[in-house]
Amino acid sequence: MHKHTDMLWEKMLLRYRALSAPVKASFWFALCSFVQKGISFITVPFFTRLMSAEQYGLYSLYLSWDSIIIIFATLNLSYQVFNNGLLKYSDDEDGYTTSMMGLSGVCTSILFVLYLIFHEKINALSGLNTPLFLLMFVQYYFSQAVSLWIVKEKYHYRYKGAVAVTLTLAVASSAFGIVAVMLSEDKVFARVASIALMYLLIGAIIIINMLSKSRTLLSRKYWKYVLLLNLPLIPHYLSLTALGSVDRILINSICGATAVAYYSVAFNVASVLKVLLSSINNSFIPWFYQSMRSKNDDDISMVSTELLIGVAGVSLLPALFGPEIISILGSPDYMEGVWIMPAVSAGVYFTFVYSLFSNFELYYDESRIMMVASIGAALFDMAINFALLPVFGFIAAGYVSLACYILLSIFHFAGMKLVSREKGHGAIPFNMKSIVTVSAGVLALSIVVLCLYCSSIARYLAIVLLFVGIILKRKKLVSVIRKMK
């Protein structure tokens, strides 16, 4: 037995060594994302028990504001535009990278000065205090350097250093955060400070290393190139972020920080599922593009339908285990959040649906539709939440979010049809009848799951039936995954 295990291990090792650098890098970065989200997910029960519901809600509110403000403070320079520049200015990668760090620092400084001038009004509007905002800006000065360095390492498939830094940040900030929260009276400040301190320490080392190679912090050529390319994308970044963050901000202003905590614990599940679906989509995209180039519409139709059925099953699992998940992540005090779990699960499914259609749009370089769709969905989200939150409380936000993802799916479907006509592609390469049927089934089952929360026996029977269905379909799903390789 031991000998057989050794032989199996050696075979796996040989296969791994034979992989190309891009495949190895993709594997490690995907694994890193799962571990990073896993650490974040696992530590949630610690923080929900060490903090009161109001404190955890305030911390979640901080994260929501952070995800919006960072877009203006750094212009998301480490996103796709940075990769474009690495390709364009390959003869001066170090100078280009440090100039991006310099541009980010200038943007952060401008925003910081504006905050200092209007801090009283900003504090009142946001629900946060000055110490938290100061930590936020300290983090921005160092976190962007870390992000730029990691993207550059990924660009060259140098996964070891990038994975090590990412995991060190995740583990150290979580471990130090738990200790800091335990020992501190101001638990929200302690948690935020633990994250900012880790970025400061690691970011300082990276900044020194980057500046030792180039001190081109200001470059008119590089700044002009990036600003012209990146500024039009800011509304798109902002709208996508707003879909995940504005809910918490509105809930805090209308329902209070405690309601934010209940809502955030349920949506932590969605963040983990989205990492899984992102990995599936990242594997699907190269195969999809190759199939589009070869005009294999039948294969695309079959594979996408089977994938969608698998995603539907996986997405429904958290909803079925809703009460248990809430009890583990939070406590019985957080049980109100269980009523949005079906909406969270269905929302994750529709995220995958609209990504199928947007993949088609991006194949033909039509990113304008994505921007219009995300802005429209974000405005819809804010308007409906303003109307429903005072009446139905934080639970309404979960179902409004689901409605936004359905709206995005419909909008991208219309965009895909428009692009198909303009580009003369012909028939759409997806089985829309199957997609509509599976989508309607997910919505119907979400309502059923909501009703099952009133009967544990019926809910457990439904869980057994779902697992039986997954087992019966496992060979089909495996064949689809193999087909994409």
3-state secondary structure the chain: CHHHHHHHHHHHHHHHHHCCHHHHHHHHHHHHHHHHHHHHHHHHHHHHHHCCHHHHHHHHHHHHHHHHHHHHHHCCCCCHHHHHHHHHCHHHHHHHHHHHHHHHHHHHHHHHHHHHHHHHHHHHHHCCCHHHHHHHHHHHHHHHHHHHHHHHHHHCCCHHHHHHHHHHHHHHHHHHHHHHHHHCCCHHHHHHHHHHHHHHHHHHHHHHHHHHHCCCCCCHHHHHHHHHHHHHHHHHHHHHHHHHHHHHHHHHHHCCHHHHHHHHHHHHHHHHHHHHHHHHHHHHHHHHHHHHHCCCHHHHHHHHHHHHHHHHHHHHHHHHCHHHHHHHHCCHHHHHHHHHHHHHHHHHHHHHHHHHHHHHHHHCCCCHHHHHHHHHHHHHHHHHHHHHHHHHCCHHHHHHHHHHHHHHHHHHHHHHHHHHHHHCCCCCCCCHHHHHHHHHHHHHHHHHHHHHCCCHHHHHHHHHHHHHHHHHHHHHHHHHHHHHC
- pTM for this entry: 0.79
**Per-residue model confidence as pLDDT tens for the chain (485 residues):** 555 555 556 666 666 666 666 666 667 776 777 777 778 878 888 888 899 888 999 999 999 899 899 999 998 888 767 777 787 788 888 899 999 999 999 999 999 999 999 999 999 999 999 999 999 999 999 999 998 998 888 778 787 888 899 889 989 999 999 999 999 999 999 999 999 999 999 999 999 999 998 888 888 888 988 888 778 778 777 877 777 778 888 888 888 888 888 888 888 777 777 777 776 776 677 677 778 877 877 888 888 888 888 888 888 888 888 888 888 887 777 888 889 889 988 998 998 898 888 888 877 767 677 777 778 888 888 889 888 988 888 889 889 989 999 998 998 898 888 888 887 767 788 888 889 999 999 999 889 888 888 888 888 888 888 777 767 766 666 665 555 45
